[in-house]
């Protein structure tokens, strides 16, 4: 009996794989390595001290994905695999819809064929669009502003419809807030291609002298210091949320459940910079720049549903997130 982890060599998937293995779960990883490297498999084995099967397979390749189901007794799937860059999704919507939506359809069709009807899906707080109120609860209205976000919303709908058609399916949708940080070993972390778009990798590049300064996108938002506020969550806390989701799905009896995975605490861009400086003793040069189109002022979770129903809370604070991110970057970027 194994958990299939799609996208398991990626940023969140690799951290989750380690926690699953350390807990004693059997896992099988499928990844086409379009945004990760094969070396990640050795790192996961090294850190966890456990072995697992890896298949370099694209979810769109039905024939080879079917082999994974034939050769293993898959009882649950954690579905991370997908393309995730918001800007790129606006330039390449066909590729994003095809990869994320068709990939998921091939996967769930095989799950049905092999009678594995338990899926945990990686969604995003981006599905809340511009929230009218804070903190954000799971039943808030949903909307999206870019093809990436729309793929998340569409997959949520697809999984809900599958459950409606066959109530043997158990679906857990996890809406992540802003994952940052890295494994405390410093061996694995986030490794974006090119110049980073997201703030934490960008700050790390500035700290490593790869970039001159951080552009703070707007200081005239309706927030305490005028800069954007987000719910940053340590990737290991996020990974542990998946273990709780697996425990839950094994007890479910034909349900769809949605959980916010965030800390519930919002921090501004300037607070993040200050925490990074304090945690690592490195000054981060920054300049105030124009607002970035599409950004919202503030976004943070009400994580109480995950606490009450999964028994999950994030425990790592912002300083730890900054320390762990930098430890990884310092070791791997220079």
Q: Catalytic residues, which ones? A: 148
- Compare residues 4 and 258 and give the one whose CB is closer to ligand UD1: 258
279 near ligand UD1, rule: CB under 6 A: no
Residues in 286-305 at the binding interface with ligand NAD, rule: CB under 6 A: none
> Which of the listed partners (ligand UD1, ligand NAD, none) does 217 bind, with a CB threshold of 5 to 8 Å by partner kind?
ligand UD1
202 near ligand UD1, rule: CB under 6 A: yes
- Compare residues 85 and 288 and give the one whose CB is closer to ligand NAD: 85
Beta carbon of residue 3, minimum distance to ligand NAD (angstroms, whole number): 16
DSSP three-state, residue 172: strand
Which residue of 33, 60, 86, 134 would you call a contact of ligand UD1, by CB under 6 A? 86
Distance CA 273, CA 277 (A): 6
Give the angle subtended at the CA of 144 by the CAs of 312 and 8, to the nearest 5°: 50
Contact 147, 267 (CB under 8 A): no
Q: Which of 63, 62, 102, 65 is nearest to 82 (CA)?
A: 102
> Which of the listed partners (ligand NAD, ligand UD1, none) does 215 bind, with a CB threshold of 5 to 8 Å by partner kind?
ligand UD1
Which of 34-42, 66-74, 88-96, 136-144 is the region at the interface with ligand NAD (rule: CB under 6 A)?
A: 34-42
Beta carbon of residue 84, minimum distance to ligand UD1 (angstroms, whole number): 7
Which of 64-72, 107-115, 155-163, 291-299 is the region at the interface with ligand UD1 (rule: CB under 6 A)?
A: 291-299
- Compare residues 107 and 310 and give the one whose CB is closer to ligand NAD: 107
DSSP three-state, residue 147: helix
36 near ligand NAD, rule: CB under 6 A: yes
Task: Locate 82 and state its tokens.
Answer: 């997908």
Cα dist from 14 to 7, 18, 250, 323, whole Å: 8, 6, 22, 19
Distance CA 17, CA 46 (A): 12
Which residue of 2, 104, 118, 124 would you call a contact of ligand NAD, by CB under 6 A? 124
Is 175 exposed, middle or buried, given 0-12, 13-18 or 19+ CB atoms closer than 10 A? buried
Beta carbon of residue 126, minimum distance to ligand UD1 (angstroms, whole number): 4
- Compare residues 224 and 294 and give the one whose CB is closer to ligand UD1: 294
| Pairing of the two strands 170-176 and 256-261 | parallel
295 near ligand UD1, rule: CB under 6 A: yes
Distance CA 266, CA 202 (A): 19
Is 99 exposed, middle or buried, given 0-12, 13-18 or 19+ CB atoms closer than 10 A? buried
Binding site for ligand UD1 (CB under 6 A): 86, 124, 126, 178, 197-199, 202, 214-217, 228, 230, 269, 292, 294-295
């Amino acid at each position: 009996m194994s958990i299939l982890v799609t996208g398991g060599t990626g940023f969140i998937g690799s951290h989750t794989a380690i926690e699953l293995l350390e807990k004693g779960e059997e896992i099988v990883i499928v990844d086409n390595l379009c945004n990760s490297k094969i070396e990640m498999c050795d790192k996961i084995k090294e850190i966890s001290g456990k072995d697992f099967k890896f298949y370099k397979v694209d979810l769109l390749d039905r024939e080879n994905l079917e082999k994974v189901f034939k050769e293993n007794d898959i009882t649950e799937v954690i579905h991370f695999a997908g393309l995730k860059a918001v800007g790129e999704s606006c330039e390449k919507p066909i590729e994003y819809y095809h990869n994320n939506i068709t990939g998921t359809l091939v996967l769930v069709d095989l799950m049905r064929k092999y009678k594995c009807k338990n899926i945990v899906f990686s969604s995003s707080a981006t599905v809340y669009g511009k929230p009218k109120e804070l903190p954000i609860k799971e039943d808030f209205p949903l909307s999206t502003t870019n093809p990436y976000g729309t793929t998340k919303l569409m997959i949520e709908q697809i999984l809900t419809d599958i459950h409606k058609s066959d109530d043997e399916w158990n679906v857990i949708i996890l809406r992540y807030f802003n994952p940052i940080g890295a494994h405390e070993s410093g061996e694995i972390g986030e490794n974006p291609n090119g110049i980073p778009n997201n703030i934490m990798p960008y700050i790390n590049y500035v700290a490593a002298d790869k970039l001159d300064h951080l552009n703070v996108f707007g200081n005239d938002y309706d927030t305490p210091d005028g800069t954007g506020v987000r719910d940053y969550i340590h990737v290991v806390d996020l990974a542990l949320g998946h273990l709780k989701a697996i425990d839950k799905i094994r007890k479910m009896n034909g349900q769809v459940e949605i959980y916010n995975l965030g800390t519930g605490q919002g921090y501004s861009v300037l607070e993040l910079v200050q925490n990074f400086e304090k945690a690592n003793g490195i000054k981060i040069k920054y300049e105030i720049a124009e607002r970035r189109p599409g950004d919202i002022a503030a976004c943070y979770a009400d994580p109480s549903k995950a606490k009450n129903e999964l028994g999950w809370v994030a425990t790592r604070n912002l300083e730890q997130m900054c320390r762990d991110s930098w430890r990884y970057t310092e070791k791997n970027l220079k």
